[in-house]
Structure 1
C-alpha cells in the first residue's frame, strides 16, 4: 500500500522491477490518500532464498504485507509493516495570554509571538523562515520588525516522521498593529501650593485617552487635549500627586500608560504691621512687626526690601526712610516670607516721605583774582523762598543769582568776606549756609622783542619782561615745548620740517604773590624749513681705480645740490644715487675729502657735509723673460717691472706646474712632445694695502731632440765596411 502518486517509485534491490508494476495499484474504497496492490505469487526464481531482498520507494511512504502460503495450504509465515500516522499541527500563543492557543491572533508591533508545533515529529521546518529566531525549532519565536510596513504575517510548519513521513499544518496568521505611545509634558513637576500645572498632550497613534488626576479627576478624550490643573496642599507636610494617561490604538489591541508625579509643598502666608505713621517728613522711622504664618510651624526666612536700596533678613527690623528729592517720595516696602521648601509669599505697603529742606549752593572758585566773576548756583532742596547776602553790601532774592563780580585794584589788599544763603519752605522749615570768598589784587603781563626777523633755523630771539610790578614770578612759553622763568631771556628756535616754515607762538604768564596770573597775547616767531646735508658711500677705503656709489637719501629740505670730489671734478646732479671714479696714479695713499653742499633756493638756507675717502695706489704688474733660444731644456729668468714701487709681494704661476713668491724667479721648461709647447705665465703683484694687479705672458719651447745611432761591430780588418743605424729622436735634419 502506498500514497497516491508514488506507485511508480518502487525499487527491488535498488532497481526498477516488473514484479512491482505501477499499474497494479488500485484505489482503496473510502480512502483518497492511499492505493493498494496484490502481487505474486513469486517463485524462488523471482525472489531467491538465502540472500536479503530489499524493497524501497523513492517517493513516499508505503506499507508491505508478505504471506507464505495459499488458500489450500494456509499461511505458514506472514509479515505486515507497522502503520504510524504523522500529523502536522501548529498553533500560536498570544503574547499577553500564554495559555491561550489560536490559529489567528492580533498583537502590537514590537511584541514577539511564540509558535508551537505538535510533538512527536522528527524534524520541523517553518515556512516562511523570515523573522523567526529558529525556523527548524518546534517552538520558534516570531520577531516582527518595528520598522516593517507589513501588518499581517502567515506561517505553516512541515513536519517529518519515521520513514520520511511528512505533513503540513494549517496556516497560522498573525496580524500586527502599530502601538500607541502615551506622551504628555508638564511645565512643572514640583512647586508650592496652590500649584497650577499646564499639561500638553503629545501622544502618538492614540485613539482613546483616559486621564486620571490623582484619582480625583478622571475623564476620556479622543483627540489631543491640553489643559491645566491646580493642586492644593493645606497640610503641614509635602504631598505627592500623580497624573496618569492611558492610551489605546484604534483596534484597541495595543495600550500604553504614562504616569508623572507632582510634588506640592505646604503654603506660607506673609504679613506685617508698622508701629508708626507711614507718612511723614524726612526722616520717617518705622519699627516693623512681623505677622507671617508658616503652616509647617517652622520659622520662615525673611527678605525685607525697603524700596530705597536697603534690605534686611531680620524678623522685626527697624528702618529710617530719607527723602533728598524735591518732591514726596513713595517707598514700596515688601516682605517675602520663605518656607523650608522655598515656598514664598509677599506683602507690600507704601511709605510716603515728604522732601526735606536743605540750603546749599556751589561756587567753583571761592578764591580769585580781581576782577573775579563768581558763578553761584543754588542747589538747595525743598526751598520756596531764597535770600542772598554777598558780603560786599549787595543782596538778592532770586532763586539763581547767576554771576556776581568782585573788584579789587592792584594796590589794595585782598578782600576776605562770605556769601550767605537763607532758604524757607511753605511748611515753615528753614535752613542757611555760608561760604567764605577771597578776592586778590589785579595783575597785567607784558614783554618786548629785540631785533627779530624771520630766517633760517636755528633762530635766536631775545625777550624782555614788561609786566606790572605786582608780578612776582614769570613763565615763558616759547611754543616749542621749552619754557623759562627769567625776566630777560634769549631763546633759540628750530624748525624740523623740511617743507614749510615753523610758526611758534610765544606768550608770557605773569603771576603775583597771591597766585593771580595774566597771560599775554601770542607773539609769532617764524623759522624757515630745516635743511640737512647727508650722504653715504658704499665704501670709504679702496684701491685705485675704483667707482664709489654715493647715496644722499638722508638729505632733506633741499632742492639744489653740489658735489665736490676733491680731485678737480664736481657735479650738480639732483639724483639721489650718483657715482664717481677715483684714481691714484702715485705710489702713496691719497685722502679725498668729498663734500656735498645742499641749498633750499626758496628760503636761501643751505647745509654741507664732508666725508673723507682713502684711495690706495695700485701696483703696475709687468715682467720680461730672459732665456737662450727656445730649445728644451730651457732655463728662463723672469724680471719684474722695476718701475713698480707699490707691490710688496708676488704670486707667480710659471705654467710648468711651478709657482714662486720671488720678485724675479727662475725656472726650467721641458718639452718631451713632438711639437712646440707654449707655457702660460701669470704674476699677481700685491701692495701692502692688499691692492693687486696681474700680468700674463707665455714661453715657447721647441720639442725634445736626441741624437743616437748603432753599428754591428766597432773594429775590423781593412777594408772595413760598417753599416750604421740612425736611432735619433725627434730629429728632422741629419
Structure 2
C-alpha cells in the first residue's frame, strides 16, 4: 500500500471558571458618622483577587473588609457614596456597585439687622440655617418662644423699662441632631427713672465734708456728675451703686447729675451744705503734777460755742475753762472737743489733745507687826510699798514716858517698847523726789497682862476612862474680867475654871499614853500668860487572851485542858489562874495544864498584873466535859466456818445510840451491805453474814464505814486503834473461810 503516513498532535489546556462580584451591606444610609458593615457574597471567594473602593477615599484588598465609617459632609448637605467591588480570577473580571447615603448634620445660623434699640424695639432676623432642618425653636429671652419650619425672614418686638440684655436662642433640628446659636441684643427704655439719694446726715456737714450718694437709677447707661465746687465732672456707668465726693470748703453746693442711655437723657439736682469748722486750742498748767493736785486749763478755741473736755481718767467736763485733779499717777491725755452748734442743731467740731504727767505719790502705809498689844509690848512698824520714797519720817507718841512724849525716827522701820497700858499713836510721813508727801497715822491700845497660876503634880493611872478635876488662878493689874482656856495636848478643851476632863485611852495600848495639860488666863483684849505644864499618864493594861487546847469541849474519858495567855509576855507580868472547880484551886504561869475530876462546865479566870505599874486585867473562858451515855466497838474479822456463832457474822457492839448507819464495800468500791437497824437500847441489831445478793463472798478484805450519834446528841468520833491517837470512822473487815 502506498500513500502518506498518518500523523496526529495533542495539546492540553485548562479553562478557568468565571467569577461574579457581589456584596451586601447592613445599612444603606443614616446620619454621620455612619458605620457600614460589608459582606462579600461573590460567587467564588478562593483564588480571586478583590479590590474595594468605598467612595470616601478608602480602599481595601481584603476578601471581607469588615466595617467602614462615613463622615457627614462638612458643607451640611446629604452625601451619596458609590461603593465598587472588583473581582478578578485569571482572565475574567467582574464588577459590582452599590451606594451609601449619609444625611447632613444641621447648623443653626441666623442674623439680625442690629443689636441695640429702643423699647418697643422691633428686631428683624434672618434664618440662614443649613443641614435640611425640619424644625426651628426660637427663645427671645423675654419669656416668649416660637417654632418655625423654614428658613427666611422673621421679626420680634422687645419691651423694657430699663436697659436690658436679651439673649436670643435658635435651636435648629433635622433627622440627625440639633444645633444652637445665641445672639445678645441690648434694649434701652425711652424713659429714665432716676433714684439717687444721700443719707440725711450727709447733706449737711463740716469742712472737709465727704458725701456718699446711693444710686439705684433705672434705665440709664451712664451718668455725668457735676458737684458744683469747680471739680472735674465725673462720668460713671449706671451700675455703680455709690458715688462719694469730698468738699474741702464751706458753701452751698448744687450737684447736677445727667442720666443718659441710647434712647433718652434726663438731668436731676441735689443740694449739699458745708459749714466751717471751729478751731480747738487750750493751754494746761502745769504739765506735771502730783497725785491729788489739780491742773488748770485755759480755753483759746476760735469759732466755737460749746465745749467738751475729757481728762483721760474716765471723767469729763463741759465748762469753757477750769481745773481737774487726778487721784492716780500716770500719763493722761487731755482732749478738748470744740463745737460750733448751728441753729438747726447741726454741730461742727474740732479736737485738740495734750499729754500731762501725774507723778505717783508714794502712799503712807503703816504695816504693824502681828501680835497682841500686851504689856510689855514692843511696837514694830514698817512702811509699806515705800521703795520709791525719798525720805520716811516716823513720830512715835508715848504719854507714859517720863523722859519724852514723842520719839522721831527716820527710815523704813521703827520700834518702841510700851511698859504701861494705855492709848497711843504712831505717824508716818512719806516724801518723794518731786516734793509730794503723804501722811498716815495708826492709833492703838496697849493692855496689861494677867499672870496664870496652875500647880498640879503629874498624875499616873491605870484607868483607861477617867475624869480628873483641875483648878487655876490669876493675878491682874487691870479691872477687866479674866477668862480661862484649858489646853489638853495643846488643844483647847474647856473655858471653865475649875475644869473637869475625861481622859480615855485604848484598852489595846501596849505603851504609856501621856496627856499634857496647861491653863491660860486672858483679859478681854486677849492678853494672857500660860501656866506651867502638867502631865497625866495612862499606863497600858496587861490584857490577856486565853487559848484552850485541845478544844473547849471534851468527851469522856478526856478531861485534861491546857490554858495559855497568848498575849505578849514580859518579866513584869504576874499570872494567876482560877480553875473554876469545887477545889477552888489556882495556878500561876503564862501556860498551865489542868485535869478535872468530873464532867461538867467550868468557868476559868486569868488575872494578869503588871508588877511595875500595878495595873491589872483579866480574861475568862468556859470549858465543858461531856458525859457519853454509850459506846460502839467494831470487830475487824469474821470466820464463816468457825463453830462460834458470834464469829460467823459481822455485828458491831454498841449501846446508847440514837442514829446509826453501817455500809460495807468491796475493795473495788461496790456496796454489798447496808443497815441502820437499832434495838430499843440503842444497840446495832442487824449483822452481816458475808454474802451479797444471797451469795457467799470469797475470802478477802472488805471496807466498813459507820456514821452514828449518841442519844445525848453527841457524835460518835470513831474507833481508836492501838498505836493511834486519832479516831477513825472507817476500817477493814477480813472474811476467813
TM-score (structure 1 length as normaliser): 0.41
